[in-house]
Amino acid sequence: MSRNENPDQSAVSVIGLGQMGTRLAQAFLAAGYTTTVWNRSTAKSDALVAQGALRAATVQAAVTASPLVVVCLPDYPTVQGVLGPVAENLRGRTLVNLTSGTPQEAADAADRAAGHGAAYLDGAAMSGTRLVGRPEALFVFSGSRDAFDTYEPVLRSLGNSVHLGADPALAPVYDTALFGLAWGTLAGFYHSLALVGSAGVDPAAFATVATAHMPFITSLLTEHARQAQSGVFPDDDGTVEVHRAAIAHLAHTSATHGIRTEVPGLFRSLLEQAAADGHGASGIASVVETIAKGAHNE
Ligand SMILES: NC(=O)c1ccc[n+]([C@@H]2O[C@H](COP(=O)([O-])OP(=O)(O)OC[C@H]3O[C@@H](n4cnc5c(N)ncnc54)[C@H](OP(=O)(O)O)[C@@H]3O)[C@@H](O)[C@H]2O)c1
């Protein structure tokens, strides 16, 4: 079946009912799609069957039940182990792989799917499990644009489903980059919590003020990305030297309060390297160049 033959868009199969797969299946059910589920240990499908899902007795039955097959397992070798023996049944279907992995694993999975006549979308769930099914849950996909267009209404029932491009490796690239963003943000937040805690501040009261501060941080992203792209770093948001002095205050205050200093220490050392690279008078976003050139070039 070619993608243009108007496949049935009312049915979806979900293979792998762990924390994430269960939420995916629930979101499809809630959106009214006929949802067939398979999991290695059958007990995990009981609650979904009670909610209206159809239980597939075998992986093959799950694959053949729907034109759209969503797989969510711990890693790509497990996906290959589960789908490999029934891969010929994927012919003419679309495989959406929401398993976390590397860009190379995604490229290899796309090649295997193409070899079996299946369209392939690699994907990543970016917003944990609790938000799945809500518009604010970000899901990124890459691979066949045709397949994404065909099944976008189904995938939209998971949340804010975004197609990044035809290269299947893009989803894991974004997945890892966005995780890096989240961890960097959370590392700063956790350091802040320890610092204000050491000063006797109520953590929840601090979180309220911190939340109100976040729009300023996010307002910098697009402009600083443009600066990184152009290689021109105006000083409107502070120079490397200005931020270096400010972060020294944070490190000093943290040490004075008896808390660890690795989190500010990491950024401080990057700013020092940026200054050594000749960016002391450049805008703070010039630190991207220091990071991008890699430690081996220092
Ligand atoms: N949980 C999250 O918040 C989250 C967020 C974003 C992305 N993800 C990604 O989603 C994927 C799944 O994560 P999860 O949290 O749903 O994992 P999980 O709760 O640990 O569930 C793992 C699932 O894989 C199945 N499984 C494990 N080994 C298997 C095998 N050899 N053959 C067949 N089935 C096997 C398990 O089946 P049994 O029940 O039989 O053990 C279970 O259904 C991962 O790649 C993860 O990185 C998760």
121-176 per-position pLDDT tens digit: 999 999 999 999 999 999 999 999 999 999 999 999 999 999 999 999 999 999 99
Say if residues 268 and 251 touch (Cβ distance below 8 Å). yes
Residues 6+ apart with CB under 8 A from 23: 129, 132, 133
Please give the pLDDT value at position 276: 97
pLDDT of residue 6: 53
| Res 2: pLDDT | 39
State the CATH architecture for 202-297. Answer: Orthogonal Bundle (1.10)
Indicate yes or no: pTM above 0.85.
yes
| Beta partners for residue 125, in sequence order | 139
Contact 1, 90 (CB under 8 A): no
Q: Locate the ligand 1 atom nearest the alpha carbon of residue 17 and give its number.
A: 43
Is residue 4 very low, low, confident or very high in pLDDT (cuts 50, 70, 90)?
Answer: very low
- Report the percent of the chain where pLDDT is more than 90: 95
| Superfamily the domain 11-172 falls into | NAD(P)-binding Rossmann-like Domain (3.40.50.720)
Q: What is the pLDDT of residue 3?
A: 41
For residue range 24-48, list pLDDT tens digits in order: 999 999 999 999 999 999 999 999 9
Ligand 1 binding pocket includes 203 (Cβ within 6 Å) = no
User: In the chain, pLDDT over 70 holds for what percent of residues?
Assistant: 97
Q: Which of 19, 86, 158 gets mutated to test ligand 1 (max ligand atoms within 8 A of its CB)?
A: 19
Residue 99 alpha carbon to ligand 1 centre in Å? 8
Give ranges for CATH 3.40.50.720 in the chain.
11-172
Q: Please give the order of strands across the beta sheet that includes 94-97.
A: 54-55, 34-38, 11-15, 68-71, 94-97, 119-125, 138-143, 160-163
Residues 220-258 have pLDDT tens digits of 999 999 999 999 999 999 999 999 999 999 999 999 999
Tell me where in the chain the CATH 1.10.1040.10 domain(s) lie.
Answer: 202-297
Q: Given this model, what pLDDT does residue 196 score?
A: 98
Give the residue carrying structure tokens 């959406």: 96
Q: Given a cut of 70, is residue 187 above it in pLDDT? A: yes
| Whether the CB of 129 sits within 6 Å of ligand 1 | yes
